[in-house]
Chains A and B, each alone.
Chain A
């Protein structure tokens, strides 16, 4: 792990969201962001993912203030709402590759099936539409889609909340494996303190748009 953090945030402010937030996140860390609803966790995440622009302050990823957008991926809370119900599993997972013009149809299909298998989804179901999958399976599809472009930073905004305990443990283990293999960094937004305690390396507590506490898990 290098001394330079993967993510450096300085004085980040967004009206109605966050106030003067500064923190570093080391490469390969799992940082849990906790706090009550409205504390600014999701706003911070949306700024990091590039969905919103902060009013003031600075975000550096690998010392760059601008980076290819796919290096930061966000997995949202509601799998039902974040997947196109008419797309097949394969189309959903391969879509980022299509947008980035990577590979050909055959290699994209292969990659989609590999990712499905590694997330515990039956690759034989690659041709089924998203609506045919259960809630937990749809969230796995969303995670597979986020991993397609091999991001550096993955933001999990309550992504494991709708999953069952055993599936949650499987996905948490998968995330830990991927982290080991690829040096992925996670920001985990969660209300589930027991989950946070089980997988986070650091905990940041937010309230009213500011960081109020930070400590190792």
Chain B
């Protein structure tokens, strides 16, 4: 059976600067996949590209995004309307910005269902509240209800766990898993906290500078990272001696205008060799369906 969503060689450029390069992955029906990386690495652009939301002509989008046997990049706005919010829904990072401040919670959830001729779901305890009357966790539940209103096959959640308290993180993760189990909904969860992805996702894709640089089971990827970038990130989380400084990867992620003939992490990498700057390494397969885009793993 083909995967629910198949992304092949997706390239996105903003005003001729590459934002995503050669991104390929599959999302299976009913799977939870994590998308992990630093800001500016292209996670949100990828989420928007999957729904063909990137405005043209500023953005140039190439490649294919196969969903339900159709390439979403080839569909018209009219053909995309039932897909967006109906079959694939997007949960934005900041509920306070994505909810309408002057409409009650239930009205906003019902609006989504109406647009897709679906029955409006229940929203028991917070239905008559306005967004400002709700706590962060409650707002998050409203946006999740919106995302799930039409029983989509795939929910893309952009940083749903950021600045949410641990009890709410657990609750939200539980809601995701419950939905996955009962309705077979697939989730693509963008996060920068390895702990929550480890407990939630079956696969994690690590991105750097618009490319997937490592993928595999999150427990393996985060506990035994192979790419020097993933290793560096995990080292940032190590406890340190009192008064000592935290480990931080030297330098900053490259800006959009930066162009690299070789590996984009090379300027910051502790393990670099001359060949790293010469050409972009391919993705090398590792055991346990893992892969890593680093020359050191070339066989």
Contacts and interface: CB of A to CB of B under 8 A. Distances in A.
Interface string B151-173: 00000000100111111110000
B97 A169 contact: no
B122 interface: no
Interface in B44-80: none
B39 A167 contact: yes
Contacts of A163: 39
B32 to A, nearest CB: 21
Interface stretch (A43-51, A61-69, A192-200): A192-200
Contacts of B236: 165-166, 168-169
A148 to B, nearest CB: 22
A11 to B, nearest CB: 26
Given A37-B135, A37-B137, A169-B246, A191 B240 contact: no
B299 interface: no
Interface string B233-259: 100110110000111110010000000
Interface string A110-144: 00000000001000000000000011110000000
B195 interface: yes
A135 B135 contact: no
Nearest to B234: A165
Contacts of B247: 169
A173 B233 contact: no
A170 interface: yes
20 contacts: A37-B164, A37-B165, A37-B167, A78-B94, A80-B94, A81-B97, A136-B40, A161-B162, A164-B233, A165-B237, A166-B38, A166-B248, A167-B252, A168-B236, A169-B247, A191-B165, A191-B166, A191-B169, A198-B246, A199-B246
B223 to A, nearest CB: 15
A60 interface: no
A177 B243 CA distance: 10
Q: Which of A166, A172, A192, A194 gathers most chain B CB within 10 Å?
A: A166
B239 A198 contact: yes
A166 B249 contact: yes
A135 B137 contact: no
A36 B166 CA distance: 8
Contacts of A199: 246
A24 B132 CA distance: 32
A21 interface: no
Nearest to B37: A164
B232 interface: yes
Given A169-B247, A170-B248, A194-B237, A81 B96 contact: yes
B162 A162 contact: yes
B192 interface: yes
Interface in A153-189: 158, 161-170, 172-173, 176-177
Contacts of A161: 162-163
Nearest to B250: A166
A77 interface: yes
B22 interface: no
B246 A172 contact: yes
Contacts of A135: 39
A168 B249 CA distance: 11
Contacts of A36: 165, 167
Given A170-B248, A173-B248, 16 more contacts: A37-B165, A78-B96, A78-B97, A81-B96, A136-B38, A137-B39, A161-B162, A164-B39, A164-B192, A165-B38, A165-B192, A167-B38, A173-B246, A177-B245, A191-B164, A192-B193
Contacts of A136: 38-40
A57 interface: no
B27 to A, nearest CB: 24
A119 to B, nearest CB: 11
B163 A162 contact: yes
A38 interface: yes
B136 interface: yes
B97 A198 contact: no
Contacts of A162: 159, 162-163
Closest 7 CB pairs of A and B: A164-B38, A161-B163, A169-B248, A169-B246, A166-B249, A136-B39, A191-B165
A176 B245 contact: yes
A170 B245 CA distance: 9
Contacts of B248: 166-167, 169-170, 173
Contacts of A165: 38, 192, 233, 236-237
Interface string B88-105: 000000101100000000
B163 A158 contact: yes
Nearest to B245: A173
Contacts of B135: 37-38
A32 B239 CA distance: 16
Contacts of B39: 134-137, 163-164, 167
